[in-house]
Structure 1
Amino acid sequence: MHKTDEFSSVFAFRRVVRGRYFALHYCPNEAGKPRLGLVVAKKLAKRAVQRNLVKRIGRDVFRHACASLPAYDLVLRLSAKVADVTKLTMREDMHSLFERLPRQAGDTRG
């Protein structure tokens, strides 16, 4: 996802799964396949290197989990500082969020 209104519609749907470092916002989409958007605030990851690393890991975890995900628009948002967090810990947190998503696009109990 790239457009502001796509992100806004996901946030407006108000469904979220929270992990230790990330929040995964979701809403059903019409595309028939999952789509991902990433939000990494400068407040939580000061350096551009950190922000880019978080996004790169997020895209990679999504790419591997994509086949098992329902048709959702997803926004993975960083919700805690990641200054001294390992890459493995970030991957595990993201992976657990994708696993905790409701399996049916119509099932929004979260």
Structure 2
Amino acid sequence: MATEGIEAVFLETHNWGKAAKFFQDLGYELEFSTDHNSGRLRNGDGPYVFIAEVPESQEPRTRLVLKVPDADAFPADSAVEVVTPFEDTHYGTREMTVRDPDGRLWSLQAPGRS
């Protein structure tokens, strides 16, 4: 199974408003925001940026999400280490977490089930 490039960058922040303004000042447009201090921004046709506010007690993380055209096409005999298999998300996609040879975690995102 081949990925189709970077789908998104997920960022955690301690201040949703400041983070969103930062990206808007860099030319990103707010596509939508939620009622829990998060939202999606996009600049052109490239990957979107999704920002979510986390408590001060939690260190903000960054996650790159690779696009997968079909979750069911992931080969069972793949040498890729699967940390969590594809699961449905609350926002309508399916996500899987894999580990690269250096121990970094990567998210794979596929369209939700039709």
Q: TM-score, normalised by structure 1?
A: 0.24
Higher helix proportion: 1
For CA contacts below 8 A with separation 6 or more, give which structure has more relative contact order. 1
Higher strand proportion: 2
Q: TM-score, normalised by structure 2?
A: 0.24
**Larger-gyration structure (1/2):** 2
